[in-house]
Structure 1
Amino acid sequence: MSPKQQIEMILQELFSNPKSKMIPEVFASDYIAHTSKKDYVGLKIVSQWIQNLNRFLSDLKIVRLEFIYEAKDLVVWKRTILGKIKPSKKKNLPAGKLIKWDEMIISKFKGNQIVEEWITSEFLGTLLPKGKT
């Protein structure tokens, strides 16, 4: 399976089954995720990410997947995710509102596993009221 196919397969699995047992097959045990705020090490971040999205949003789906660059051990890609805000006690976000955001990812592979990723996301920016920063 090519790196691109691995990415497509695990995304389909995670979005249809947030508690997937396939994570260790696709991600190395010493997986590193680099974000703008922090670096995360280990497989736990993958399951936490999809479970947190499902806790906060319903009807989650990837509406666009674009592969920008692919080499033997490196894939640069972008995903567009759509979801509906779930009702919450905080009431500061409109329940039922559809939000859509982009994430840009660089995935580094070793063999058939993702060992490291660099991730940027527009998720929090989509939650801010328009015109305010």
Structure 2
Amino acid sequence: MENQNKIEFILNELIANHKTSEIPKYFSKDYVVHTSKKDYSGHKIIGKWSKDLHNFFSDLKVVKIQFLLQTDEFIVWKRTLRGKIKPSKNKNLRPGRLIKWDEMIVSKFKNGLIIEEWNNSEFLGALISKPK
């Protein structure tokens, strides 16, 4: 399976199907993701990310995947996600409000698995912006 297809498949499993069982087939056990605040490692962070999104949003969907650049080792890509805020204790977040945000990702592959990623997300900006 080509690396682009791997990204599409695992993202579909994590978001649309809410299944984490395929994580070891697509991510190295030495996986690391770098965000603007912190680095995270291991398979557990991927499962936690998926679970947190599903706990926070209903109707969570991958709206678009756009592959921007690819080499044998790297893929630069962008994903657009969308979901409706679920009711929570946070009074500042209106349940049912639709949030849509983009994330830019650089995925590094080694031996057919994603070993490292750099993720830049617009999630918080979309979340705290005033609805139109």
What is the TM-score with the length of structure 1 in the denominator? 0.94
- Unpaired runs of at least 5, structure 2: none
- Contact 1:65–1:78 at 8 Å: present in 2 too? yes
| 2:7 paired residue number | 7
- Contact 1:19–1:51 at 8 Å: present in 2 too? no
Instruction: Give per-residue Cα distances to partners, 1:5-49, cap 9 Å, x unaligned.
Output: 100010111113324210011000010000000000111110010
| CA 1:84–1:24: 2 relative to 1, 3 Å | same
| 1:16 paired residue number | 16
How many residues are matched?
130
Secondary structure at the aligned position of 2:52 is classed as helix
Q: Distance in 2 between matches of 1:48 and 1:78?
A: 21
Secondary structure at the aligned position of 1:37 is classed as coil
Give the fraction of aligned pairs with identical amino acids, expressed as a percent. 55
CA offset at residue 129 of structure 1?
3.4
Q: Distance in 1 between matches of 2:75 and 2:41?
A: 20
CA offset at residue 112 of structure 1?
1.2
Q: Distance in 2 between matches of 1:66 and 1:16?
A: 17
What is the TM-score with the length of structure 2 in the denominator? 0.95
Letter in 1 for 2:55: R
Q: Distance in 2 between matches of 1:21 and 1:37?
A: 27
| 1:120-131 paired onto structure 2 within 5 Å | 120-130=120-130
Q: Distance in 1 between matches of 2:2 and 2:129?
A: 40
Greater shift in the superposed pair: 15-24 or 75-84: 15-24
- Unpaired runs of at least 5, structure 1: none
| 1:62 paired residue number | 62
